[in-house]
Amino acid sequence: MSGHLYLAGMMKATINVILIFLLACSVPEQDGLVVKVIDGDTFDMKSGSEKVRIRMFGIDSPERGQAYNVKAKEFTASLVAGKVVRIIVRDQDRYGRIVADVYTEDGAHVNAEIVRAGFAWHFTRYSNNPELASAEQEAKDSRRGLWQDAHPTPPWEFRRH
């Protein structure tokens, strides 16, 4: 019996991965309702009958246990929670999340707004977007959000430890 449960679980997981892959490949742009904000750069979105996890492209916000994590999540929630957003799919990450640029109904680029407010870094390992670079510099110059700290620790360094 446990073998059947294992196979059923594996089949469901495989089907979910295939659905996410097809969504990412066949629908490069779509609208959806944000149903849950996970952290400063990740949320769940309902599009049609599917719920998908979205990771915002080109940014990296503080991790759980890191300074400004809660404020980053709250700021992101203020922009997108319970609202319809448009995503432009860029990729799918190793965790099966859709990596996307996110826009509000009025056209604001959510990824850049989070960086500009000082609640995420421009993730230059994956992005050379000049808008994100400019938004980060603006946040640094104005000492907004995490840039109030003298030497904020980037999430990729925090994750290594």
Residue 29 falls in the annotated catalytic set: no
Residue-range domain boundaries for the chain: 2-160
**Which pLDDT belongs to residue 137?**
98
Active-site pick, 29, 50, 55, 113? 55
Catalytic residue among 29, 74, 97, 138: 97
With a cut of 80, say whether residue 55 has pLDDT above it: yes
Give me the percent of the chain exceeding a pLDDT of 70.
83
Q: How far is residue 41's CA from residue 18's CA, in Å, rounded to a whole number?
A: 23
Average pLDDT over residues 55-66: 96
CATH architecture type of domain 2-160: Beta Barrel (2.40)
Active-site entry in 29, 50, 63, 157:
63
Q: Which two tokens stand for residue 26?
A: 């066949």
- Look at residue 70 and tell me whether its pLDDT is greater than 80: yes
pTM of the full structure? 0.82
Amino acid type, 150: A
pLDDT tens digits along 115-128: 999 999 999 999 99
Catalytic site residue 97? yes
